[in-house]
């Protein structure tokens, strides 16, 4: 391992930008350009870049920028570790700033990003600050968390559960106090358990949505590490996240919000069209992994909140019904979502499987569509709900009394309508 360090500083910088680099040329050049041009100024920042055995000239590019900007870049070179966790941990250990920002080596920052983020975090005393992120080259970035700038957010009042990547500003003291590190045996999702731990420990989590701070790039060759990961690696990552949830939260809305994100998105995503292209043994292993996750972490109430398509896939995977699951995926690819059918005063998703549910021992609730009910807040609705819970005799008497009271208090025409109901 070799390193090329900056000149000795007399004062710690405000922010350290940590970059794990592995074969990201030519995107790395744009990333570094966005950093050396930051409005915060070189004296208030440092860049800690760890070259994880790049073979595309990325290591040499880091050294070139370090020579061009003395004192700004600390470049570390090491043999390839197999994933981003080890170089990111090493870069964090070398950081000296009050804050740490993790930046993908193929991503870039807006020119005022660091200055704005540090100022806001200092003003709000934030321990984690989430800057607005936008996608480049067609990359999709969930925007729910960025609907407004907020000095403080939580899992139950925002889309925080959908913002578990480490693309954030962390107070370095928070990471040190709790010994937070990435799990180096995870080739994918290693940032999510780390970030979740930080969010759950943080005294204040803030959101800045007033500027395009962080630009996430989709490489044209699709070589981003999250796109290369296999389904079993993804399942290992989800399990690591759920273990943090289990350890650091109590049963309740916060836990439900976090788990709903993973069982309502990451896990069902493994049972889409790509599942059909896996060999039979790998399909079996994926379903076994999903079954274990559901058994360990997913409550019936959580599954009941999922869309029918996701719920049905998960249940079939849990039961090891590979042929039926493949047929369901093929049916939806060909036909889309089925129309609703009504049975015994409830509405259900009208999959062909509905007629075979008894043979497959599938509870009818697996197909149940959410009952939207009447508009919330309607007095008529409230009256109907109360009435349904009363004994028939009392219900008839109360209706008679209410009808007379309404007719006495309303104009003749409105009273007539009340009586007709």
Query: Are 105 and 31 a contacting pair, CB within 8 Å?
Result: yes
401 part of a folded domain: yes
CB 190 within 8 A of CB 84: yes
The SS3 of residue 230 is coil
User: Does the residue 282 lie in any domain?
Assistant: yes
Q: What is the Cα 151 distance to its own chain's centre?
A: 20
Range 52-65 average pLDDT: 97
Same domain, 243 and 151: no
In a domain, 306, yes or no: yes
CA dihedral angle for residue 272, residue 274, residue 277, residue 278, rounded to 10 degrees:
-90
Helix (H) or strand (E) segment spanning residue 18? strand 15-21
Torsion of the alpha carbons at 385, 391, 392 and 398, rounded to the nearest 10: -70
Question: Considering the domain boundaries, does residue 110 fall inside one?
Answer: yes
Domain count, the chain: 3
Distances in Å between the alpha carbon of 94 and those of 49, 62, 86, 126, 346? 10, 16, 13, 22, 60
Q: What residue numbers bound the domain in which 389 lies?
A: 380-420
Same domain, residue pair 219 and 347: no
pLDDT over threshold 90, residue 53? yes
pLDDT above 90 for 222: no
Q: Per the domain annotation, does 257 fall within a domain?
A: yes
In a domain, 375, yes or no: no
> For 376-400, what is the mean pLDDT?
54
Query: 172, 196, 224: which is the final residue of a domain?
Result: 224
Q: What is the pLDDT of residue 395?
A: 58
**Domain assignment present for 373:** no
pLDDT mean over 235-239: 96
- Measured distance CA(76)–CA(6) in Å, rounded: 11
- Is residue 195 domain-resident? yes
DSSP string computed for 348-413: EE--GGGGGHHHHT--GGGGBPP---SPTT-HHHHHHHHHHTS-HHHHHHHHHHHHHHHHHHS-HH
DSSP string for residues in 95-112: --SSEEEE--TT-EE-TT
Of the pLDDT bands very low, low, confident and very high (cuts 50, 70, 90), residue 370 is: confident
Inter-residue contact 32 to 61 (CB < 8 Å)? yes
- Cα distances from 161 to residues 84, 294, 299, 320, 385, in angstroms, run 22, 19, 18, 29, 34
Whether 184 shows a pLDDT value over 60: the answer reads yes
- Together in a domain, 101 and 207: yes
Q: Could you tell me the pTM of the whole model?
A: 0.82
pLDDT mean across residues, the chain: 88
Q: Verify that 86 and 136 share a domain, yes or no.
A: yes
- Same domain for 201 and 87? yes
| Residues 279 and 206 reside in one and the same domain | no
Specify the length of the chain in residues: 421
pLDDT at position 287: 98
């Amino acid at each position: 391992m070799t390193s090329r360090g900056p000149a000795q500083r007399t004062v710690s910088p405000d922010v350290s930008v940590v970059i794990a680099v592995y074969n990201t040329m030519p995107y790395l050049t744009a990333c570094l350009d966005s950093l050396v041009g930051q409005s915060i100024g070189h004296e208030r920042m440092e860049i800690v870049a760890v070259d994880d055995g790049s073979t595309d000239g990325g290591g040499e590019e880091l050294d070139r920028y370090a020579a061009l900007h003395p004192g700004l870049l600390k470049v570390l070179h090491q043999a390839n570790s197999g994933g981003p966790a080890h170089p990111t941990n090493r870069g964090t250990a070398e950081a000296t700033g009050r804050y740490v920002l993790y930046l993908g080596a193929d991503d870039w920052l807006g020119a005022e990003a660091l200055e704005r983020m540090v100022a806001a975090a200092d003003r709000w005393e934030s321990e984690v600050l989430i800057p607005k992120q936008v996608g480049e080259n067609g990359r999709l970035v969930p925007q729910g968390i960025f609907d407004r700038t907020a000095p403080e957010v939580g899992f139950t009042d925002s889309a925080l559960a959908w913002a578990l990547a480490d693309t954030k500003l962390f107070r370095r003291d928070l990471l040190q106090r709790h010994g937070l590190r990435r799990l180096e045996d995870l080739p994918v999702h290693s940032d999510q358990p780390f970030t979740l731990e930080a969010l759950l420990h943080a005294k204040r989590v803030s959101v800045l949505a007033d500027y395009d701070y962080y630009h996430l790039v989709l490489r044209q060759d699709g070589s981003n590490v999250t796109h290369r990961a296999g389904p079993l690696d993804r399942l290992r990552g989800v399990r690591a996240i759920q273990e943090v949830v289990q350890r650091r939260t109590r049963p309740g809305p916060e836990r439900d919000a976090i788990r709903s994100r993973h069982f309502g998105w990451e896990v069902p995503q493994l049972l889409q069209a790509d599942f059909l292209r896996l060999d039979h043994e790998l399909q079996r292993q994926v379903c076994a992994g999903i079954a274990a996750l559901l058994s360990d972490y997913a409550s019936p109430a959580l599954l009941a909140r999922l869309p029918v398509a996701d719920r049905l896939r998960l249940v079939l995977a849990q039961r090891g019904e590979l042929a039926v699951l493949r047929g369901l995926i093929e049916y939806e690819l060909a036909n889309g979502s089925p129309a609703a059918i009504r049975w015994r005063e409830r509405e259900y998703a009208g999959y062909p499987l509905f007629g075979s549910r008894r043979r497959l021992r599938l509870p009818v609730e697996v197909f149940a569509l959410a009952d939207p009910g009447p508009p919330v807040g309607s007095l008529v609705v409230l009256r109907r709900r109360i009435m349904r819970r009363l004994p028939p005799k009392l219900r008839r008497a109360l209706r008679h009394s209410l009808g007379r009271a309404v007719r006495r208090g309303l104009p003749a025409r409105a009273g007539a309508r009340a009586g007709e109901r």
